[in-house]
Structure formats: structure tokens, C-alpha cells
């Protein structure tokens, strides 16, 4: 049996009225395989659902996904909602964050201004997000080390 000594909880979901589920399903699998405890809220999640889940599970990171082009509207006031709920977690957003062809540097700036710690485009490999989380949460090799238990 392989036991992972690391136990870091992240909340993941698709915000607003967006129903694109494939991206977060892949992210959930990759994050779980990397040893994170993932609370997957699924699609069409409200800002309050993210905040409530982050409080309930003492999440260290809140990962927001959006594909359908309305992320900016859906994320207005999101960090205020998290703050009111006393959530002190890293916040990442990723997916297809703007409508149509966009200048990603501008998109990144827009979402950073909204309060997100990191902004990822739709070409993002899950491993990139995992590496960023490990850096931002100061997860060391020792901490994420796996131990093998024979039973
Ligand atoms: C499948 C699909 C659908 C399916 C969704 C089925 C389902 N339940 O999932 C259906 C047919 C329902 C659909 C509907 C719509 N869709 Co659609 N859809 C797609 C499509 C073809 C593929 C999406 C997908 O599954 N990709 C595969 C996964 C693995 O990739 P991903 O989602 O991008 O996720 C990866 C990365 O983005 C990243 N990532 C995603 N989120 C996050 C979050 C974080 C924190 C991080 C780090 C990374 C990250 O990591 C993921 C894994 O690698 C895309 C086009 C495309 N090629 O992307 C359009 C697309 C997303 N859809 C689009 C649109 C417009 C719509 C509709 C509004 C169309 C309409 N007028 O009705 C509706 C919206 C319905 C709704 N309420 O959400 C547009 C969005 C345009 C925009 N943003 O400017 C796209 C880009 C098509 C296009 N070129 O126009 N869609």
C-alpha cells in the first residue's frame, strides 16, 4: 500500500453558469495523483459554494475553472466573498478566460487585478499547475515523499 504523507486540500470547480466538465475532471485526477486532497465542486458553482467549501475543508488553494468566455463577469467580487468568509487560500484561475482570440498578457493582468495569485491559459498542462502549487505552498520533497507500507 502506498501512503502519501502529504495532505493538502484544494477546492476545484467551474464557476458561474459554465458546464464544461472535462478540464476539471482531468485536473482532479492529476492533483489527486500528485497527493492533493481535492474537493471537486463540479460545474456551475457559485462564488459562495467555493467560499463555503474552502472554509469547510480548510483548503489551502481554491482553483477556479472557466471555459465559456464569461469568467471576468463571474469572478467580479469573488475575492471579497472569500475574504468575508475568512478564506486565506491561494487562488488560481484557468481555462478559456476571454471571449475569442485574446492577448493572454492582458487576460492575465485582468484576473490578477481581480485578485487571483496565478492565471493559466487553456494550453496549461496539469503538471504546470501542480508545480506552481508545490512552489506556492512550499511543499518540499520530504513532505511530499511517499512511504510504502507492507501489510
Ligand atoms: C466540449 C465542449 C463543449 C461541451 C461541454 C460538455 C461538457 N459537459 O463538458 C458543450 C457542447 C456542452 C459545450 C457548450 C458550450 N460551449 Co463549449 N466547448 C467544448 C470544447 C469543444 C472542448 C472543451 C473541452 O472539454 N476541452 C478538453 C479539456 C481537457 O480542456 P480544457 O477544458 O481546456 O481544460 C484544460 C485547460 O483549459 C486547463 N484548465 C481549465 N480550467 C483550469 C483551471 C485551473 C486553475 C488551471 C490551472 C487550469 C485549467 O487545464 C485543463 C486540463 O488540461 C471547447 C473548444 C476547445 N477545443 O477547447 C468549446 C468551447 C470551450 N465552448 C465554447 C462555447 C462558446 C460554448 C457555449 C457557450 C456554446 C453555446 N453558444 O451554447 C456553450 C456553453 C454551455 C455552458 N453553460 O457552459 C467556446 C468558448 C469560447 C470563449 N471562451 O471565447 C469554446 C472555446 C469553443 C469555441 N472555439 O468557440 N461546449
- Helix, strand, coil tally for the chain in percent (to 5): 35, 25, 40
Return the pLDDT at 132.
97
Whether 147 is in a domain gets the answer no
Question: Strand (E) positions, 1-151?
Answer: 2-4, 8-14, 36-40, 61-66, 90-95, 118-120, 146-148
Question: For the chain, which residues score pLDDT lower than 50?
Answer: 1-5, 144, 147-151
What is the distance between the alpha carbons of residues 5 and 142, in angstroms, rounded to a whole number? 9
Return the pLDDT at 6.
54
Return the pLDDT at 88.
95
Ligand 1 lined by 107 (C-beta under 6 Å): no
Whether 146 is in a domain gets the answer no
Q: Which atom of ligand 1 is nearest to the CA of 26?
A: 52
Whether 76 is in a domain gets the answer yes
What is the distance between the alpha carbons of residues 72 and 108, in angstroms, rounded to a whole number? 11
Q: Tell me the CATH number at 65.
A: 3.40.50.280
Q: Which atom of ligand 1 is nearest to the CA of 69?
A: 83
Ligand 1 lined by 97 (C-beta under 6 Å): no
Residue 11 near residue 54 (C-beta atoms within 8 A): yes
Query: 69 alpha carbon to ligand 1 midpoint, in Å?
Result: 9
Return the pLDDT at 148.
45
Q: Which domain holds residue 47?
A: 8-133
51: Cα separation from own chain's centroid: 12
pLDDT (tens digit per residue) in 38-74: 999 999 999 999 999 999 999 999 999 999 999 999 9
Comparing CA positions, the residue from 60, 68, 87, 82 lying closest to residue 19 is 68
Return the pLDDT at 139.
87
Return the pLDDT at 99.
86
Q: How many domains does the chain have?
A: 1
Amino acid at each position: 500500500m502506498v501512503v502519501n504523507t502529504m495532505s493538502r486540500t484544494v477546492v476545484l470547480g467551474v464557476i458561474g453558469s459554465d458546464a464544461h466538465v472535462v478540464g476539471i475532471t482531468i485536473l482532479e485526477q492529476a492533483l489527486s495523483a500528485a497527493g492533493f486532497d481535492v474537493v471537486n465542486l463540479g460545474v456551475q458553482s457559485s462564488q459562495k459554494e467555493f467560499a463555503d467549501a474552502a472554509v469547510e475543508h480548510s483548503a489551502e488553494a481554491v482553483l477556479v475553472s472557466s471555459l465559456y468566455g464569461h469568467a471576468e463577469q463571474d469572478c467580479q467580487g469573488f475575492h471579497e466573498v472569500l475574504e468575508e468568509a475568512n478564506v486565506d487560500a491561494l487562488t488560481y484561475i484557468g481555462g478559456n478566460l476571454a471571449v475569442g482570440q485574446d492577448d493572454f498578457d492582458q487576460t492575465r493582468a485582468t484576473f490578477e487585478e481581480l485578485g487571483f495569485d496565478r492565471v493559466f491559459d487553456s494550453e496549461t498542462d496539469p503538471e504546470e499547475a501542480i508545480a506552481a502549487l508545490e512552489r506556492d505552498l512550499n511543499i518540499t520533497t520530504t513532505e511530499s515523499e511517499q512511504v510504502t507500507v507492507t501489510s
